[in-house]
């Protein structure tokens, strides 16, 4: 009997230890809890010092994980295996997450710092009245070019990329919406166009660009352009700012035909465990001083108008990255195209990529 009791005791202790370890592993994998705030964000997209400051001020521990695409982020949240209290999706992904019931409505009474956001960045089509999201960063898609490598030439248009003198000199970001979008804009079409004839026309025009394309790449595009491995790159504005800081011979332009105006916003996924902590974290990041510190670290444009006065003047006054949107040409936010049309965009982009040598 004694041995039986000892056996049960051993089983109980082992089970308890297993439960404890599972709990700790779950926290590390993004499962929330009362003592933690689980944040799911893009890589290198926050100043780590701000996380430490938030933890010190609130007593909550931040469990921080990263993703490399909106699609990967949405899939993980939809599966529900790992829970996150705060996530940072892009505009079209927010629309899709609302549609699929993956987000919780925000309690604006717990976000007093929302008043510092520039009004033009609120109440946008992908989230009317900001019921589910608040702005984190914004920017554009445009062209970085090396004036010296181009013999003093300037670039102002998407159509400039088809110049035969740029043979094997262009780097493209590995994104279907960005690359198809630039081709559509170059033809005078919307980057949200769903007319298949227009999309086929854009694909044919991209095919004619291929001799000028040196590579279609990911994050390494920044290093390649800064090191003058290519003269021209199609990039996001925040990456452009980082590249230019490494090489002053480079410049950035939003093409005159128009381009993408994008937003990454903070949301609370439906599976969040610490809703109070999530609101506290979001409000902390909306503080003007924190927003300025984050913008200076990350390099992207802050939507926080009060934060601009805390940024160095050479950053806040740089019209390449804080443009007058009324004078910047036709800028469009990516719309949620739906699964079938998005798959069609991806199919055309893949066909284009497969031609790369």
Token code pair at residue 182: 């630039």
pLDDT for the residue numbered 357: 65
CATH superfamily ID and name for 2-138+264-316:
Periplasmic binding protein-like II (3.40.190.10)
Q: Where in the chain is the domain with CATH 3.40.190.10?
A: 2-138+264-316, 139-261+330-353
The answer to whether the Cα torsion of 82, 87, 91, 95 is positive or negative is positive
Token code pair at residue 77: 């949240």
Closest CA to 263 of 52, 122, 76: 122
The answer to whether the Cα torsion of 319, 324, 325, 326 is positive or negative is negative
Chain centroid offset of residue 191 CA: 18
Looking at beta carbons, which pairs linking 47-56 to residues 24 or more positions away fall under 8 Å? 47/293, 47/294, 47/297, 47/298, 49/293, 49/297, 50/284, 50/285, 50/290, 50/293, 50/294, 53/290, 54/280, 54/281, 54/284
Closest CA to 45 of 25, 73, 26: 73
pLDDT for the residue numbered 106: 98
pLDDT for the residue numbered 328: 56
pLDDT for the residue numbered 27: 45
Q: How far apart are CA 133 and CA 87, in angstroms?
A: 10
Q: What is the pTM of this model?
A: 0.83
Chain centroid offset of residue 337 CA: 18
- The number of residues in the chain equals 357
DSSP string, 130-182: GSSEEEEEEEEEEEEEETTTTTT----SGGGGG-GGGTT-EEEES-HHHHHHH
CATH of domain 139-261+330-353: 3.40.190.10
Q: Residue 208: how many CA atoms within 13 Å on its side-chain side?
A: 13
pLDDT for the residue numbered 186: 97
- Cα dist. 294→82, 136, 198, 201, 310 in Å? 26, 10, 40, 41, 11
pLDDT for the residue numbered 71: 87
Strand stretches in 255-328, DSSP E: 259-267
Query: What residue ranges of the chain have pLDDT lower than 50?
Result: 1-31
Q: How far apart are CA 11 and CA 5, in angstroms?
A: 10
């Amino acid at each position: 009997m004694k041995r039986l009791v000892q056996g049960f005791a051993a089983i109980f202790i082992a089970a308890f230890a297993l439960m404890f370890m599972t709990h700790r592993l779950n926290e590390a994998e993004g499962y929330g809890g009362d003592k933690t705030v689980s944040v799911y964000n893009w890589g290198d997209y926050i100043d780590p010092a701000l996380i430490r400051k938030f933890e010190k001020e609130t007593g909550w521990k931040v469990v921080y994980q990263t993703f490399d695409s909106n699609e990967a982020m949405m899939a993980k949240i939809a599966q529900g295996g790992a829970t996150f209290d705060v996530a940072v999706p892009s505009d079209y992904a927010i629309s899709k997450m609302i549609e699929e019931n993956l987000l919780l409505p925000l309690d604006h009474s717990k976000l007093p710092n929302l008043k510092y956001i520039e009004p033009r960045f609120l109440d946008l089509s992908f989230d009317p009245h900001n019921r589910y999201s608040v702005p984190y960063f914004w920017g554009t898609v445009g062209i970085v070019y090396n004036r010296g490598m181009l013999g003093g030439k300037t670039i102002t248009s998407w159509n400039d990329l088809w110049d035969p003198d740029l043979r094997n000199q262009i780097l493209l970001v590995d994104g279907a919406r960005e690359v198809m979008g630039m081709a559509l804009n170059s033809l005078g079409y919307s980057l949200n166009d769903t007319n298949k004839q227009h999309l086929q026309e854009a694909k044919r025009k991209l095919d004619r660009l291929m001799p000028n394309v040196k590579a279609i790449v990911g994050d390494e595009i920044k290093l390649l352009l800064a090191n003058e491995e290519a003269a021209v790159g199609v990039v996001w504005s925040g990456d452009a700012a980082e590249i230019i800081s490494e090489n002053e011979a480079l410049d950035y332009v939003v093409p005159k035909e128009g381009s993408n105006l994008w937003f990454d916003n903070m949301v609370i996924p439906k599976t969040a465990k610490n809703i109070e902590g999530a609101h506290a974290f979001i409000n902390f990041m909306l503080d003007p001083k924190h927003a300025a510190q984050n913008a200076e670290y990350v390099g992207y444009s802050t939507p926080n108008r009060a934060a601009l006065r805390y940024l160095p003047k050479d950053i806040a006054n740089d019209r390449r990255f804080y443009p007058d949107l009324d004078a910047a040409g036709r800028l469009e936010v990516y719309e949620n195209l739906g699964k079938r049309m998005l798959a069609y965009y991806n199919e055309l982009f893949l066909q284009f990529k497969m031609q790369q040598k």
